[in-house]
Chains A and B, each alone.
Chain A
């Protein structure tokens, strides 16, 4: 992939000289660490990596990475990243975004980059709030949630980013919580490997304006009971005792306890991330309790940038215009003497 020789890196090789300026306790610190840990594992030379972001707390991210980086404008990072990737398909392009940046102001670019399947990796920091503008509801804020612009409770229906992404034909969707550093690194590496747009939703805690928004799932005592980490080819089993699982009933997934009511491990649905049909993946992203993490969908489709390169090669082979002079003198011409 990389056009330059890859040397052996350490995570700290990717830390820039800029002072990190997120609020103390922000989930973004853990994500930054996980990304810096990911970089040495993806086999790409540092100069061939580009981080692109929009606007928001998360979008300051590129300044902290010692790679090429572009902190752009609100919502437009998918379009900028598309331009970067098309201009030089050998680059490893990462887009950092938040729930406001990706799903509100940049909603249009978000769905279209997924539809086209441009080979970039999108890390969506979802904290269900506007942080940089100090606490207004976002497109993922729950109904009824009180914020500065919804003092009586939000009356806005939220998006589920995974559901939106699958509807926009995302071929790689994963979800992970910011308190799971190992999980993040594992998933980021897989996202990098995947050809086509890889979208990772990170449940990120905003310690100042939306603290404990995911506590229902992330609190120490409930974590194992309320998160289900899926893996391709493995039964969907979770719980402290590893005795809970999902079975399909009609068009729904239902939680059952193995060993109760005659349920055995064989009854538990086995995850298929590579299935072309999105039905199972949609059920998984929409499940609220437990919340599903891990790689929910990963299907290989030809990327937009590969198609572009192929088309260039194809027309090059057959064109009668080898140089601009050929084109300039083409068509009906006449001589004036």
Chain B
């Protein structure tokens, strides 16, 4: 109801004022990491989603919490892509850049095409500011900016004036300038302010003065934009044609946490999350910590190893053990993963990938932990490897990873990445009743223990039955030493070891009998098959759509990596050329070459800590397609 009302109001205003309608638009907010750019961007995205636009967002922030003020290293950004039609990526180039200081302009001007709008806070463009940013002359006076629609606004000064006399200290007044900037953008894009006003009331409800300051700054910015002539007209993006339903905006990490909580409720097995804080995975731990009321036990461990070990202990005792981490943390957990493989216990490990090796690029995205996930352990140590493709998909994949872990009694690694984890999108709210059932393969109380063998297996899945403490008659010992194939007792028997190694491999392979087939989007056969996995989905889909005219192009994007979906060979054999696109130096392509050597693959790789841009992909695909002709 509310949505419809807003929409009517919007149309009414469009008639009255000069408003240009756009299909989609990319807005980027950049400033010092203390300027509140993440919040400003989130608010713009939230308001737009609330109006019925499809959105995709991408935060880009430095690893240092507060890098030196005014320097390029300390610039934090938040990109929002809103559209009338479906949006799959946070966008390449910005239509509007809001730069709160000289360093932010320097760091992000590359992303604005000539002729587009740049809004700057002129108060942060004094000589000392642009020198600190590394400019040798005043950028606002330089020839380079003549080709842009520059909106030069003394944002800091005007915020100070607007907030004069309300009794707020200087520091808090300066802090409100992000709301002034947001006000300008709200006017520019015809967005109502009430979504943010409600948000501010919730956030600062108890700090009346701060609340008043923020609300005033927001309004002042809006009115300033309305008044000045620098903005000839405003724009709007009408609601998108998304599927019917109730939506909310969801972030990747939040969706991952909710997927686990949902799997816990559905299966009736309590969730135990043992984790150690690490960027960019920490939000999952924080989100689960909010929900103790579901019986979910979040445990902030003393280190990565304790996190996974506690999760394994909890699984042994009958909980759904989960641990969350990023690349370096997965390396630390490797030995414990071997234990989970040997003891055949349910466990889900989420690796929110970031740039590596070592500490690498903690806040930048990359897909370079695939081989670590597949092979990074001692011995023959297979486990299920999955990947999530978008913020909303994190919910489904966390849910499926839990289902597989409990039904097949095996560890599962779920690969996410910084791009997906911190991005957000409108998410059609799911009903618990609509989710697939989860039936953990476990011993129930009262079951006959007479014939129980610890490593006896289900015929189809080869899973061993999960028997948890508290059930009489099933007392047994497991551990990291090789197990007898039936009794589970320690065994050094040579043949038994070979049988067990092969059985563990086969058990993971058989998961393929239970997972969905690979979906082939676009052309069902033809010239070029685009292959990707994980967080690159949106960009690959968009680029694929852009090159499809006159060409037969398909997209096969993988959620399930080990085992591969059963129809993979069929899909691959329908195309002349297969291009494997990844944000690493060629890891999935190596895996595919090993698993399915009958096909020729070309790789397209980017290793800059950044997502693919649609433009670069389109160029590459056209190049391949031209060669085919």
Contacts and interface: CB of A to CB of B under 8 A. Distances in A.
A281 interface: no
A332 B270 CA distance: 28
B470 A90 contact: yes
Chain B interface residue bracket vs A: 35 or more
Chain A interface residue bracket vs B: 35 or more
A26 to B, nearest CB: 18
A16 B303 contact: no
B475 A76 contact: no
Given A90-B470, A315-B293, A79 B245 contact: no
A328 B430 contact: yes
A3 to B, nearest CB: 6
A50 B3 contact: no
Given A71-B481, A87-B318, A108 B313 contact: no
Interface in A46-94: 46-52, 55, 62-63, 65-73, 76, 78-88, 90-91
A16 B490 CA distance: 13
Contacts of B265: 323-324
A321 B261 CA distance: 12
Contacts of B207: none
A70 B478 contact: yes
Contacts, number: 217
B591 interface: no
Nearest to B306: A79
Interface string B240-260: 001111111100000000100
B249 A80 contact: no
B477 interface: yes
Given A69-B478, A327-B258, A86 B305 contact: no
B432 A88 contact: no
A157 interface: no
Interface in A226-254: none
Interface stretch (B44-52, B74-82, B182-190, B572-580): B44-52
B312 A80 contact: yes
A336 B195 contact: no
Contact of A334 (B49, B291, B294, B297): B49
The 9 A-B residue pairs with the shortest CB-CB distance in the complex, in nearest-first order: A83-B313, A71-B479, A79-B309, A83-B310, A69-B477, A80-B313, A87-B317, A79-B306, A83-B314
Interface of A: 3-4, 16, 18, 45-52, 55, 62-63, 65-73, 76, 78-88, 90-91, 108-109, 112, 308, 311-312, 315-316, 319, 321, 323-325, 327-329, 331-337
Interface of B: 1-4, 46, 49-52, 195, 239, 242-249, 258, 261-262, 265, 270, 272, 274, 291-295, 297, 299, 301-303, 305-307, 309-319, 321, 335-336, 338-339, 343, 429-432, 468-481, 489-490
25 contacts: A50-B469, A63-B479, A69-B475, A73-B339, A76-B336, A79-B302, A79-B310, A83-B313, A84-B316, A87-B321, A109-B302, A312-B292, A316-B292, A319-B293, A323-B265, A324-B261, A324-B294, A327-B261, A328-B262, A328-B432, A333-B246, A334-B246, A336-B239, A336-B245, A337-B244
